[in-house]
């Protein structure tokens, strides 16, 4: 058995633990590993939406400034190594496998075994420590206070990108309840950035920051102006920075970038040397999968990992801006715990129809139930139990009728969708 095969088998065994809240296991594991997280300068990122794009942009800026930036994000979009990046590049399968295999005797000796995500979190800290990363960007998997990444005692910066309704079965039904979990990443005496707009969430985060004697910065959205977007990316201005460009598509990306620029100002005050030239080049060269990503041009095929109400609202804004004179075909697949009944209301006036599929995930919503949510609102919808069949049918329709195809929904569907698309000539 190769190291890779052994590592994946070890992770499969850990996966059987399921998802169990709490930090005791990951803390014990990391302590037995000599606490690699304490040897790193960490930017800890929580929030409902925008974590991945924020992390990718800030990592690109830091790399352009000469720092070695390690990044851990979830879920993995293409393969497991996709969650582990150094200066924007995936680590190799061999390197990740070696780290997992090397720490496996430690967790196998624990009385209460860690979950898969806890193992991956510990592997990330160990990997970035071995590679001597100057700065590490750690993205929460869900929430904040009980997320396994929340083991950093003194982060360089804590970031809460925004607070919206998502994972309500775990985090609560109101913005304040959800914010209370995300505010759990705020640490005593360390700066925190909030990039959201919800007043109830801000109140909770502000109260927590005051209790922790942490300086709170809230992104100034009035400083964002002159936004222009197209199929090649976005341009915009932000106070103190002049005209900037990013190659990422999406009405929401200038707002993610505004959060990044605010974070840059905080990091400069913390002593980091980030010249404006690095900001400009870092943003201009950032790469990120699955966020209004153009996969083909003829016909135009775009994938966006929007799945909660705020994400769908942003997707609707982007579709309206990019396609004012046409109505794209929507292919959509989501998890059953999402507020999918809202999708038809938010997207119905912008699309010519919906093809619904069921991603290969035990939490997926049945494609027929999803189709019914569209057809009940008068939107033509077709359900496909097999995702590959839905992709083929949607692509054929888009090609024949010369309309864009927008694939929308869970990031868990990205790999399946692109694999199915690759089989179409």
Q: Quick: pLDDT tens for 338-361.
A: 677 888 899 989 999 999 999 888
DSSP E strands in 87-156: the ranges are: 89-90, 135-139
Q: For residue 168, what pLDDT is reported?
A: 43
The pLDDT mean for the chain works out to 92
Alpha helices in 150-292 (DSSP H): 168-171, 175-182, 199-211, 253-269, 276-284
* SS3 call for 367: helix
The whole-number average pLDDT for the span 206-221 is 97
pLDDT at 67: 98
Per-residue pLDDT, averaged over 200-210, amounts to 96
Does 38 have pLDDT greater than 50?
A: yes
* CATH 3.40.1190.10 domain span(s) along the chain: 3-284
Q: What percent of the chain has pLDDT over 70?
A: 97
Q: Which two tokens stand for residue 277?
A: 């030239």
Q: 3-284 — its CATH code?
A: 3.40.1190.10
pLDDT at residue 171, as a whole number: 58
pLDDT of residue 339: 74
Q: Token pair of 98, please?
A: 């070696």
Determine the Cα–Cα distance for residues 358 and 370; give it in Å rounded to an integer: 9
Amino acid 169: pLDDT: 42
pLDDT over threshold 60, residue 412: yes
Give per-residue pLDDT as tens, 170-184.
455 788 999 999 999
At residue 252, the pLDDT reads 87
Q: Give me 38's structure tokens.
A: 């304490």
How sure is the predictor about 118, in pLDDT bands with cuts at 50, 70 and 90?
Answer: very high
Q: Is a pLDDT exceeding 70 seen at residue 166?
A: no
* Chain position carrying tokens 């007043």: 199
Look up residue 366 and give its DSSP letter: P
Please write the tens of the pLDDT for every residue from 132-141: 999 999 999 8
Question: What is the average per-residue pLDDT within 200-226?
Answer: 96
Identify which has the larger pLDDT, 337 or 280. 280
For residue range 41-68, list pLDDT tens digits in order: 999 999 988 899 999 999 999 999 999 9
> Tokens representing 225?
């102006």
| Residue 152: predicted pLDDT | 95
Cβ neighbours of 73 (radius 10 Å):
24
| Average pLDDT, integer, range 119-145 | 95
pLDDT (0 to 100) of residue 167? 43
Q: Where in the chain is the domain with CATH 3.90.190.20?
A: 293-422
- Structure confidence at residue 127 (pLDDT): 98
CATH number of 293-422: 3.90.190.20
Q: Which helix (H) or strand (E) holds 322?
A: helix 309-322
State residue 136's pLDDT score.
Answer: 98
Predicted TM-score of the model (pTM): 0.90
**Token pair listed for 177:** 């309840």
Helix 276-284 to helix 253-269 angle (10° resolution) is 150
Residue 104 and residue 97: Cα distance in Å, rounded? 10
Q: What is the pLDDT of residues 228-285, one digit of tens each?
A: 999 999 999 999 899 999 999 988 899 999 999 999 999 999 999 999 999 999 999 9
The 8-class DSSP code of residue 80 comes to G
pLDDT of residue 93 exceeding 80: yes
């Amino acid at each position: 058995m190769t190291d890779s095969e052994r590592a994946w088998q070890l992770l499969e065994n850990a996966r059987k633990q399921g998802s169990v809240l709490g930090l005791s296991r990951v803390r014990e594991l990391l302590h037995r590993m000599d606490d690699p997280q304490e040897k790193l300068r960490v930017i800890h990122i929580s929030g409902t939406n925008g974590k991945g794009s924020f992390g990718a942009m800030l990592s690109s800026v830091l790399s352009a400034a000469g720092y070695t930036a390690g990044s851990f994000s979830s879920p993995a979009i293409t393969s497991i190594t996709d969650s582990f990046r150094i200066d924007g590049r995936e680590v190799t399968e061999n390197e990740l496998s070696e780290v997992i295999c090397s720490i496996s005797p430690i967790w196998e000796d624990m009385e209460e075994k860690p979950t898969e995500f806890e193992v991956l979190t510990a592997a990330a800290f160990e990997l970035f420590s071995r590679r001597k990363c100057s700065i590490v960007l750690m993205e929460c998997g869900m929430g904040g206070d009980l997320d396994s990444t929340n083991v950093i005692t003194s982060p360089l910066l804590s970031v809460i990108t925004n607070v919206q309704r998502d994972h309500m079965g775990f985090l609560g039904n109101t913005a304040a309840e959800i914010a209370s979990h995300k505010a759990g990443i705020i640490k005593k005496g360390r700066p925190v950035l909030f990039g959201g707009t919800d007043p109830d969430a801000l109140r909770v985060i502000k109260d927590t920051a005051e209790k922790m004697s942490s300086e709170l910065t809230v992104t100034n959205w009035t400083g964002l102006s002159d936004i222009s977007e197209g199929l090649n990316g976005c341009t915009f201005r932000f106070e103190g920075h002049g005209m900037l460009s990013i190659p990422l598509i999406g009405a929401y990306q200038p707002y993610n970038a505004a959060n990044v620029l605010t974070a840059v100002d905080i990091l400069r005050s913390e002593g980091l040397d980030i010249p404006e030239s690095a900001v400009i080049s870092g943003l201009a060269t950032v790469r990120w999968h699955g966020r209004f990503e153009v996969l083909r041009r003829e016909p135009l095929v775009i994938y966006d990992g929007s799945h909660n109400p705020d994400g769908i609202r942003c997707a609707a804004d982007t579709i309206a801006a990019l396609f004012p004179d046409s109505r794209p075909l929507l292919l959509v697949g989501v998890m059953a715990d999402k507020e999918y009944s809202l999708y038809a209301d938010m997207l119905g006036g912008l699309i010519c129809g919906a093809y619904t599929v069921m991603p290969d995930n035990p939490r997926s919503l049945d494609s027929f139930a999803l189709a019914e949510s569209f057809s009940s609102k008068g939107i033509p919808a077709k359900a496909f139990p097999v995702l590959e069949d839905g992709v083929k049918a949607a692509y054929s329709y888009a090609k024949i009728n010369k309309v864009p195809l927008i694939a929308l929904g869970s990031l868990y569907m990205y790999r399946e969708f692109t694999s199915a698309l690759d089989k179409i000539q």
